[in-house]
């Protein structure tokens, strides 16, 4: 809040929130307020005596009172990590925030270290045995440390682990042009592959902003491409007119063809491209997105494999709408979509 805005608020409403000071009288939160009025009411917190406590209380106070800018959050989280050596989970516990929230804002130098350490600790939660059947049902629930499990449309790390180990080698270059919350980056880190990630609306610092139809890389420069396509209009991911989730169906198909053309240019000969997609039901009609992408992709690549993925406990239902989804299925006589399809293409 600017000084001018605060002055106006003070004049109209008075002192709505006290200045917080530590045991020695140093200001924790309220530097702008004391500039507006040196006699602004103070509240002394006798138990706050260290820099760590000052940062924690300052952040928590602002969570409750106003929206903090991204720059402020990143700066304070960096200071906290530097002073304490805490990992993201511990910082989240101390600030009453989720692990995912902390990872989103933590400065990159701390984020890289902690994501790598957490991935190492959690590797046992990703099934290592290579699968040979074309129906995949993971035994484990979604492990921490790989992307954001609460991100709408998140890619299960289980799928990425199977694909990356099967179709690449260590130090291979993996491209994810629809990176979402960064699961591919985290799995590649664990499996010692180099990941180049883009998204039309980057979720974190190690994802570059870019459209999947025009990735700025050299031709024949990547060893594997993984893309989790939007299920057309199921979720709106951004306000961009170039976003597949904002297009009509014909635009969606045409843009998809442009994207596959781009993938063909970037992928090295003999290498693989994996596309994760699910079908969409709208207004009594099932849109077979898998079939459309299969046909479009086959214009450029050899369709090498097709895998059915059934998430553990998923049944592709959103938690809060399960009962409504089930009621509709019974009422109108259709079946609930409970799987995604993984299409594997090869460049020959």
Query: Is residue 334 domain-shared with residue 292, that is, in the same domain?
Result: yes
Query: Is residue 70 domain-shared with residue 136, that is, in the same domain?
Result: no
- Please determine, for residue 347, whether its predicted confidence score (pLDDT) is greater than 80: yes
Query: Is residue 89 domain-shared with residue 169, that is, in the same domain?
Result: no
340: CB partners within 8 A, 6+ apart: 276, 277, 278, 308, 309, 311, 316
Number of domains, the chain: 2
Residue 313, judged by CB atoms within 10 A of its CB (0-12, 13-18, 19+), counts as: exposed
What average pLDDT does range 89-103 have in this prediction?
80
Query: Is residue 132 domain-shared with residue 236, that is, in the same domain?
Result: yes
What average pLDDT does range 49-57 have in this prediction?
85
Query: Is residue 209 domain-shared with residue 279, that is, in the same domain?
Result: yes
Query: Is residue 153 domain-shared with residue 104, that is, in the same domain?
Result: no
pLDDT at 312: 53
Name which of 193, 113, 192, 179 is nearest 145 in CA terms.
Answer: 113
- Residue 131, domain CATH: 3.40.50.150
Domain limit, last residue, from 68, 87, 117: 117
> Which residues constitute the domain of residue 235?
124-346
Query: Is residue 175 domain-shared with residue 194, that is, in the same domain?
Result: yes
Query: Is residue 21 domain-shared with residue 163, that is, in the same domain?
Result: no
Of 127 and 246, more confident: 246
pTM > 0.85: yes or no: no
Per-residue pLDDT band for 325 (boundaries 50, 70, 90) equals: low
Domain limit, last residue, from 98, 117, 136: 117
pLDDT at 317: 40
Question: At which residue do the structure tokens 């304070």 appear?
Answer: 76
Give Cα 30 distance to the centre of its chain.
34
In the chain, which ranges are continuous DSSP H helix?
Answer: 3-13, 31-36, 51-65, 70-84, 88-95, 99-105, 108-122, 157-167, 183-191, 249-266, 289-297, 322-332
Query: Is residue 113 domain-shared with residue 128, that is, in the same domain?
Result: no
Min mean pLDDT across 72-81, 144-153, 166-175 is at: 144-153
Contact 272, 224 (CB under 8 A): yes
pLDDT at 298: 96
What pLDDT, in 10s, does the model give residues 129-162? 678 888 988 776 667 778 877 777 788 888 999 9
Cα gap 63→150, rounded to integer Å: 21
Query: Is residue 86 domain-shared with residue 189, that is, in the same domain?
Result: no
Query: Is residue 104 domain-shared with residue 28, that is, in the same domain?
Result: yes
Maximum pairwise Cα distance, the chain: 76
Query: Is residue 164 domain-shared with residue 94, that is, in the same domain?
Result: no
Domain limit, last residue, from 117, 151, 181: 117
């Amino acid at each position: 809040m600017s000084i001018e805005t605060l002055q106006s608020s003070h004049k109209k409403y008075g002192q709505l929130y006290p200045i917080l000071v530590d045991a020695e009288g140093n200001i924790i939160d309220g530097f702008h307020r004391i500039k507006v009025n040196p006699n602004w009411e103070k509240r002394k917190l006798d138990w706050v005596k260290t820099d760590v406590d000052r940062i924690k209380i300052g952040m928590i106070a602002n969570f409750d009172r106003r929206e903090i800018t991204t720059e402020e959050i990143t700066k304070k989280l960096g200071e906290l990590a530097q002073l304490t050596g805490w990992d993201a989970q511990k910082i989240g516990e101390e600030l009453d925030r989720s692990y995912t929230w902390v990872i989103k804002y933590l400065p990159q130098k701390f984020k890289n270290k902690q994501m790598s350490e957490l991935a190492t600790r959690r590797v046992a939660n990703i099934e290592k045995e290579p699968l040979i059947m074309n129906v995949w049902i993971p035994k484990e629930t979604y492990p921490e440390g790989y992307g954001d499990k609460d991100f709408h449309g998140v890619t299960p790390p289980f799928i990425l682990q199977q694909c990356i180990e099967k179709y690449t080698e260590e130090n291979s270059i993996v491209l994810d042009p629809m990176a979402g919350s960064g699961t591919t980056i985290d799995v590649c880190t664990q499996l010692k592959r180099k990941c180049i990630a883009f998204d039309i609306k980057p979720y974190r610092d190690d994802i570059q902003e870019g459209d999947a139809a025009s990735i700025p890389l050299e031709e024949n420069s990547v060893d594997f491409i993984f893309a989790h396509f939007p299920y057309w209009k199921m979720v709106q991911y951004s306000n961009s007119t170039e976003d597949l989730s904002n297009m009509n169906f014909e635009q969606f198909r045409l843009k998809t063809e442009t994207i596959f053309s781009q993938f063909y240019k970037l992928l090295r000969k003999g290498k693989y491209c994996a596309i994760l997609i699910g079908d969409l039901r709208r207004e009594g009609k099932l849109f077979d997105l898998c079939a459309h992408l299969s046909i479009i992709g086959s214009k450029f690549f050899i369709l090498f494999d097709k895998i059915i993925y059934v998430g553990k406990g998923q049944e592709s239902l959103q938690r809060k709408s399960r009962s409504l989804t089930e009621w509709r299925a019974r009422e109108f006589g259709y079946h609930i979509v409970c799987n995604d399809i993984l299409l594997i293409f090869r460049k020959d």
